[in-house]
Structures are given as C-alpha cells and as structure tokens.
C-alpha cells in the first residue's frame, strides 16, 4: 500500500536528539520540520494528507487551504489546537495521546512543592558561595523550612494526575481535599470532595490539575486569592490560563501567597513582560512537566499506534 504523505510540524518540541522517528516513517511518507509557526504553517503543510501537530493551530482556514488533509495526529493530550467541528465536517480523523505523561507531571508537581517547602536551591547556592565554610555553627537556614505532614493540600481536578498527586500526599501525612466536576464518579474512594470555595479557604497548598474551560479560566484571580489563607502556596502544572498572572504576581509580592511554582503560562514561549518573571518567591519552569525521556518515548509510541490504527480503519484515541 502506498504511504500517505505526512508532515511532522514541531519535531524539536519532542526530540532533543534522543528520540527516533524511523518507525513512524515506515508507515507514512514523512517530512520532518524542527519547528512550525503560524507564519509558515501553510507552506509546511502544503499538500500533505497527514499532520502530526503539537501547538500549531489547525482550524477551518488550514482545512480550506490544505484540502488533502485526512488525518491530524495531535502529539499531546490536549487537542484544543484543532477545530474538531471543522474536522468532523470534512471527515478528517483527529487523535490525541492521553495519559502518557502522568507520572512525569506528578513528579514535577512534587518537585515544585518540595522546593517551595525545603528551599533546596537557595541553600545549595549558599553552601557553594562559601557560607557554610564561614559559618560559626554547624548548621544554618536562610528561610523557614516547612513540613508537609498535617498540612492541607487542595487539589483542583481529579483525573489521572490529580489522583496520583493525592496518593503521594497521603504518604506525607497530608490532609487532602479535592474539587472536581463529577465527584460522584469516585464515591468508592476515601477522598473528601468539596466545592472550590472550601479549597480556597482551607488549603495550605493548592495544586491545579484541571483542564482549561470557561469555568476554570482565571480560577486563580484576586477574588479567589482573597478567600485563601495568608501564606498559601500555589502550583500550576496544567494550563497557563487557569491563572490571572497579574493577580498572582501581586499576591506574591504582597506576601498573601507565600510562594508559587508554575510550569505553564498564558503565552508560551513566555513574553518578556510577563508579570510573574519579576514576582517574589516563584519558581518558573518552561513547560517541562511532560518532557521526561520516558514520557516522550511513550508519546512517540502512542503516536505510531494511533496512526497505524487509522490506516487499518480502526479507531484508537479518536477525539472527533
């Protein structure tokens, strides 16, 4: 069977020289682009029948200008970059890759929480600057170190990631409260489900693991921050749009929010005028929660399985 013509639009987002595309190329006549922007996406897609995409917007205009498209393989879990209605209208199959990065994102969540409570990098740099050598006593600390045991962790969103975050929180002896849209689905689990206002009021640490929807957009904003405990900590490894960045920056600078850790921002790559860049007591990582070598290899394996199912007229992770 003749291979369909395909394009991989953003290889460098997945591959840093440690990922192979050879197996995928066995099934599709593949052109690999290291990166694709909104300016050159029409040129890169051209007459391709198959698109492997991550963050490039694939909308009605793309389908109209590139009429050969038959398949869009989203190289991620979220597929909001594709106009699903327009794809369905044209009988274009769209797939995604769910749950491939769960363990990686959970790990980063706890790295951000532990860094905020243990201040490891601050003390590491202090030691390397000679402060311990010059200390008159055997130990010192530059900022308070907090135990997690007995603290309340508020989890917003209870999918695969939220569940694993909760499991680890139990091992630390934390109190766990969860907000999710459909708590009735988890009635057999020993979890205290509450509304958002109770999350805001009772949590010592709030961590976000929910999708970006009209209901969750700007969920971390002044109105809700004002309901929180003084000295609350916040983690966002989900979507940048869950946070109103000016409001979080103000709360960090005032001390209302003691610290924060974010792996995502509203505009990515981050803009130089983002207010979080100069905010106090915030850790910012460049959207790396999904990017462990293990998760990226799983991602590519799933991309291949999705496409092989498509060419065999089977449905696998089809979202439309």
Q: Alpha-carbon distance 289 to 291, whole Å?
A: 6
| 38 Cβ neighbours under 8 A, 6+ residues apart | 56, 57
Give the number of other Cβ atoms within 10 Å of residue 14's Cβ: 22
β-strands 175-179, 152-156 pairing: parallel
Instruction: Answer whether 17's CB lies under 8 Å from 41's CB.
Output: no
Catalytic residue among 209, 233, 287, 298: 287
Take residue 9 and report the two structure tokens written for it: 């639009």
Take residue 312 and report the two structure tokens written for it: 């065999």
Q: Rounded to whole angstroms, what are the CA distances from 68 to 14, 40, 48, 55, 164?
A: 25, 18, 6, 20, 41
| 117 Cβ neighbours under 8 A, 6+ residues apart | 145, 146, 147, 148, 233
Active site residue 239: yes
Take residue 288 and report the two structure tokens written for it: 């790396």
Phi then psi dihedrals of residue 19, to 5 deg: -125, 140
Angle at 316 between CA 313 and CA 320, to 5 degrees: 90
Catalytic residue among 34, 61, 121, 268: 268
Active site residue 34: no
Catalytic residue among 209, 239, 244, 296: 239
What amino acid positions are annotated as catalytic residues?
239, 268, 287
């Amino acid at each position: 069977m003749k291979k369909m013509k395909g394009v991989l639009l953003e290889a460098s987002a997945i591959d840093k020289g440690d990922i192979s595309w050879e197996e995928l190329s066995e099934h599709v006549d593949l052109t690999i682009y290291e990166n694709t922007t909104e300016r050159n996406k029409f040129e890169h897609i051209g007459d391709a029948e198959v698109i492997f995409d991550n963050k490039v917007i694939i909308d009605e205009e793309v389908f109209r200008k590139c009429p050969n498209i038959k398949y869009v393989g989203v190289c991620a879990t979220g597929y909001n970059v594709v106009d699903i209605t327009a794809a369905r209208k044209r009988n274009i199959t769209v797939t995604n890759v769910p749950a491939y990065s769960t363990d990686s994102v959970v790990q980063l969540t706890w790295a951000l929480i532990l860094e905020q409570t243990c201040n490891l990098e601050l003390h590491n740099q202090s030691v390397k600057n000679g402060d311990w050598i010059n200390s008159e006593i055997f130990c010192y600390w530059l900022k308070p170190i907090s135990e997690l045991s007995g603290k309340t962790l508020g989890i917003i969103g209870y999918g695969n990631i939220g569940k694993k975050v909760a499991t680890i929180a139990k091992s630390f002896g934390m109190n766990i409260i969860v907000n999710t849209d459909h708590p009735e689905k988890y009635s057999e689990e020993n979890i205290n489900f509450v509304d958002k206002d109770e999350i805001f009021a009772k949590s010592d640490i709030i961590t976000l693991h929910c999708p970006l929807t009209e209901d969750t957009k700007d969920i971390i904003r002044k109105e809700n921050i004002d309901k929180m405990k003084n000295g609350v900590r916040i983690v966002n490894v989900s979507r940048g749009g869950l946070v109103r960045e000016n409001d979080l920056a103000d709360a960090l600078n005032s001390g209302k929010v003691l610290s924060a850790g974010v792996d995502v921002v509203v505009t990515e790559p981050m803009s130089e005028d983002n207010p979080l860049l100069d905010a106090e007591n915030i850790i910012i990582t460049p959207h790396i929660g999904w990017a462990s070598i293990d998760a990226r290899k799983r991602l590519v394996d799933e991309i291949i399985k999705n496409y092989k199912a498509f060419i065999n007229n089977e449905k696998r992770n089809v979202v439309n």
